[in-house]
Amino acid sequence: MVARRNFMRTIAVALAGSMLSSMAGAAPMPQAPGKDRPNIVVILVDDMGFSDFSSYGGEIPTPNIDALADNGLRFTQFYNNARCSPTRAALLTGLNPHQAGMGYLSGKVEPESRGTFGRLHERSVTIAQLLRGSGYMTAMTGKWHLGNRPGTTAATRGFDRSLSAVAGGIYFPDQTFGTRGGRRFLLRDGERIELNDPSLGKDWYGTDLWTDEGIRYIDEAREEKKPFFLYLAHVAPHFPLMAPQADIERFVGNYREGWTKLRAARFKRQQEMGLIGPNTGLGEVPEAADDWDALSEADKTRFDRMMAVYAATISRVDQSVGRLTAHLKATGQFDNTLILIMSDNGGNAESGPRGRTGAAPWGGPSSDTWAGMNWAVLQNTPFRSFKHFTHEGGIATPLIAHWPAGIAANLRGRLERTPAHVIDIMPTLLELTGTRYPETFAGHAILPYEGTTLAPLLRGNPAKRDKPIFWAHEGNNAVRDGQWKAVKRLGYSWQLFDMSADRTERNDLAKEQPARLAAMSSTWDQWAERTYVDPWTDEPRRTDWGAPIGGGAQAEDRPRRPRRRRRN
């Protein structure tokens, strides 16, 4: 079976290389010398706030991730796309989500839409497809969420090896919540396997499973003497929050101080680290948030336990990073492996202030634990708002870049303050690996990537961004142009913030600078038209497979929405 698998992979790589080199007008792909081409690991966590790693101010111990931050670059203004599928699409394609076909969630289709197909569109190509054609062994583990139908999975989007969940929420083989729809099974190299499949072992925990499988794929690449690209997309800390009970118990009692005091403590550490300016204030808290001091002791115990479950999922991710880096060191690959760690959106407030718990023990395979809005305010310290929204709490993410062979010693441990976005990952990896971006792929015209390479930052040089950064999700829109950010929530007017002085978006300058705001909102309109952003008025109702999965009502108040208007 292994021999046949390797043979089929060799054929697939050969075909991909042939396809790339036969493109009309395509020059041969430039490649860096084999010994200099880095291995690449991209680690994506799910629904994690800006401040949850201890290297970003959190109280959750993350020593293995912190070690990478201390010896790499720690970005202070890196952005995602406020939601899982749109971020993943931009990460893998270098396009804005609607351009890549993922204007909303995986499997959600809007008829007549230009950008909401529920899958990656043929006008996009993934970094895995390009790196495979450039001689890399490509692998993916964890949450896919970029297509559910045959032909839309990781196995058909450039990954030689994959063990994936088509959606999130899978932590244990015997869990009873969150296994509806696409969560009942996994896909190994595109083929369905059940959660209790013997090949997965017994009593696995999802974070460990994705990591251990990724390590196996790394070893396969080493046997084949190829550089590798591993996309490790954790489910944690997405709802329903689950972790081994021993990990949860380590954190029980740590959150009895409540979210207000813990947020202030995180904020103080962030300022001491230099992540946030000394004159910056904390972002606003929704009126619906609870006053910790007014809670009953029973409620405090409940909330403490809920956040302990969340903290345990983060801790377990850190442990898995430690196991991965230890393996890279043991096999002599650590120094020439670029590791990137980020989150797909900000902390999740979808379950409202009270969160959810479900069956006891909370955090176990039969529970339904969501941390809720109160704790999401803490997770997103110091920012306002949450997942779904384009204020900083919804889109600001840690980005840690570690690469001993590629980041100069005098830069290690540096705070990188350049604003950057997940669409920048594609051009960065292309430059570092000497891989060309095509005009066509597999017979389809490919849109030019939208991002800017961040490779100069790894050498201590400035990155040259020639256009603003844009967002559009569920009618929540934003544009960042240098120090200025214009942001608009669905049903509300545009706001304007000077991010150099007001990163937490406390002082709206819309009335003071109407001309600047009008110009920026007009620029957003032009971008939206160019990148297939449909006017948003309602959630897509059609799915391209079975029952809808995931999601949930947005936590913040918002107007009732009429049906989507069609563009003529």
Same domain flag for 123 and 263: yes
Question: In whole angstroms, what is the distance from residue 54 CA to residue 315 CA?
Answer: 10
554 pLDDT higher than 90:
no
User: How many domains is the chain built from?
Assistant: 2
- Which helix or strand (DSSP H or E) is residue 326 part of? helix 297-330
Q: Is residue 134 part of a domain?
A: yes
Same domain flag for 445 and 475: no
Q: What is the CATH number of the domain that holds 486?
A: 3.30.1120.10
Q: Is residue 460 part of a domain?
A: no
Domain that residue 51 falls in: 41-455
Q: Is residue 109 part of a domain?
A: yes
Same domain flag for 227 and 344: yes
Using alpha carbons, select from 315, 373, 317, 306 the residue that is nearest to residue 346.
373
Using alpha carbons, select from 372, 312, 381 the residue that is nearest to residue 61.
312
Question: In whole angstroms, what is the distance from residue 257 CA to residue 300 CA?
Answer: 9
Averaged pLDDT, 364-389: 97
Catalytic residue among 98, 121, 145, 238: 145
Same domain flag for 171 and 192: yes
Pairing of strands 137-143, 228-233: parallel
Q: Count of CB atoms within 10 A of residue 35's CB? A: 7
The secondary structure of residue 71, as a DSSP letter, is T
State the average pLDDT for the chain. Answer: 90
Residue 84 annotated in active site: yes
Complete DSSP assignment for 387-416: TTS-SHHHHEEEEEEE-TTTS-GGGTTEEE
pLDDT digits (tens, 9 = 90+) for 114-131: 999 999 999 999 999 999
205 pLDDT higher than 70:
yes
552 pLDDT higher than 50:
no
Using alpha carbons, select from 313, 278, 333, 340 the residue that is nearest to residue 504.
278
Q: Is residue 564 part of a domain?
A: no
Same domain flag for 380 and 520: no
Same domain flag for 447 and 475: no
Q: Is residue 546 part of a domain?
A: no
Same domain flag for 475 and 447: no
Same domain flag for 203 and 281: yes
Same domain flag for 118 and 227: yes
Cβ pair 348, 374 in contact under 8 A: no
Q: What is the CATH number of the domain that holds 213?
A: 3.40.720.10
Catalytic residue among 84, 391, 402, 473: 84
Question: In whole angstroms, what is the distance from residue 162 CA to residue 156 CA?
Answer: 10
Using alpha carbons, select from 177, 308, 231 the residue that is nearest to residue 45.
231
Q: Is residue 485 part of a domain?
A: yes
Cβ pair 177, 364 in contact under 8 A: no
Q: How far apart are the first and last CA of the chain?
A: 53
Residue 145 annotated in active site: yes
pLDDT at residue 178, as a whole number? 61
Cβ pair 96, 531 in contact under 8 A: yes
Question: In whole angstroms, what is the distance from residue 124 CA to residue 120 CA?
Answer: 7
pLDDT digits (tens, 9 = 90+) for 417-431: 999 999 999 999 999
Q: Is residue 565 part of a domain?
A: no
Q: Is residue 4 part of a domain?
A: no
Same domain flag for 443 and 508: no
